[in-house]
Structures are given as C-alpha cells and as structure tokens.
Chain A
Amino acid sequence: MEQIPIIKMGEFLLVTIQVDMHDQLAVTLQEDLSNKIVATGAHGVLIDISALQVVDSFIGRILGNIAAISKVLDAHTVVVGMQPAVAITLVELGVSLKGVRTALNAEKGMELLRKSVMPKERSDGDTPG
C-alpha cells in the first residue's frame, strides 16, 4: 500500500510529503504518525510540505488533526515549507490552520522543536549551571 515515509531522527519524527496527497493517503499518514509517536516516544514532529502545490480544506483539516493528536500524545508538531501561493489560497479559502505551528523551512522548524522540547528536559533534573 502507498505510504508516506516517517523518519526517526533522535527524539523527533520527520515527514516530507513529496506527492500530491490523495485523501486516503492523508488519512493513512495521520494514523501512521500517531502510532509512530507512541512507539518511539518522540517529542516532536516536523512535517515538510514544500513540495505540496495544493493544500485544500481536507488536507488542512488533516494537518490540524495531526497537530492536535500529537499534542495529546506529548509531542509538538511544526509544519514547514509552505509555498506562498498555497498560503495565500489557504487564507482566502478560510483555513487558518489554528493550532498548527509553522516555520519557513526545515532548519527553522527543527530549531522551534528543540526549543519546545528543551524546558521539558531541564525539568527532568538536568538544570544547567
């Protein structure tokens, strides 16, 4: 079955969507990611949508779902790389991606994830000098 690969990198999961997602593929990604967060105990998920030329309300809803599910599972989600034409269209369509954190590119997204996770590590007893 067709699947979008999820790569584990340290305590983060990386997803790069490189195909025009049909509906079932998006739903499969949502399930796979939820399972993988639990299986790996990941604290962050980075989703790169720079190759996506269209994000409609369905894909927007799935991105929102993923962010909400990972939050419940103690992980932060950052969506990165949205193309300007996609951003303009999404806002006019009325999809605000409320609750989904975004960053311009993967590098900035990783930075955001590290910052989000760091306070948690400190409270585990590893207080810096």
Chain B
Amino acid sequence: MAILRAETLQVCSPNEIAVIRQTVRAWASEIGFSLVDQTKIITAASELARNAATHGGGGTLLLEKLNDENRRGLRLTFEDQGPGIADIDLAMKEGYSTGGGLGLGLSGSRRLVNEFSISSRLGEGTRVSITKWV
C-alpha cells in the first residue's frame, strides 16, 4: 500500500472542527468519493475531531491519501495527549458518554467508514484511525 500524500492539522478547539471538515471534504472530493461517501467520512472526522478537542484536550489529525492495488482511499488518524480511555469497549458502546453528548461519536463514526482502529493508554492519550476506500 502506498501513501500518495500526507498532511497534518492541529485539532485544538471545538470551533476548529469546521476547518477539519473543509479540509477532509477537499481531500475526499479530490480522491473521487461519491457525495454520500464524502458526507460519511467528513461526518466521522467531525465526530473524532470533537472527541480529540474536548476529551483529549486537543491533538492532531494526519490525513493520508492511499493507493492499494487498484483502489484509492483516505485514512484519517486522530491523536491526542489527553487522559486516555480506561475502558475502550465501554467507550465504543452506543449511547455511552462522559461528555454530555449523545454518545455516538465513536460507535457512530465506526459505522461510517470501512476500517476503524482505536488504541489508548491512560495518562498518555488516544489514537483513532479510520479508512474509507473509494
């Protein structure tokens, strides 16, 4: 699998999430996603960026344009240096929230993409990576 292009953005405050959405839209459109698939990955990015900004105290987003055999894809990796998640299974549960939200950010964004991985260490931070293929 080849990484054709990569860029890193800061995810600091909830108000910067709109910028993340615009950047992801530009990349998804260039890679050739359908309108529905663009909307799905932008929405997933919006959820994960909010998690990083509000729970993780800010972090980074790495965008990567992928080429694997004959398919193109977009991988988004969110990393924060926040408190980490004690129980990932619980955090992935639909409707579970510690932030007063709907508790759909993690479980919902997983449904919107093809690949989803999460790792977290208490006191060190959380890393969530999603990939969608055209």
Contact = CB atoms under 8 A, between A and B. Distances in A.
Nearest to B54: A23
Give chain A's interface secondary structure class: helix
A57 B25 contact: no
Contacts of A84: 36
Contacts of B21: 20, 54
B105 interface: yes
**Interface size of A as a range:** 20 to 34
Contacts of B102: 57, 60-61, 94-95
Interface residues of B, number: 28
Nearest to A56: B46
Nearest to B24: A54
Contacts of B57: none
A96 B17 CA distance: 22
Interface stretch (A9-17, A36-44, A68-76, A85-93): A85-93
B108 A53 contact: no
B4 interface: no
The interface centre, meaning the residue of A56, A58, A84, A86 with most chain B CB atoms within 10 A of its CB, is A56
B121 to A, nearest CB: 26
Nearest to B39: A85
Nearest to A93: B108
Contact of A94 (B15, B18, B25, B104): B104
Contacts of B112: 89, 92-93
Interface string B31-51: 000011011101100110010
A57 B15 contact: no
A87 B42 CA distance: 14
Contacts of B42: 53-54
B119 interface: no
Contact of A20 (B14, B18, B47): B18
Nearest to B34: A85
The interface centre, meaning the residue of A55, A84, A90, A94 with most chain B CB atoms within 10 A of its CB, is A94
A110 interface: no
B60 interface: no
A94 to B, nearest CB: 5
A122 interface: no
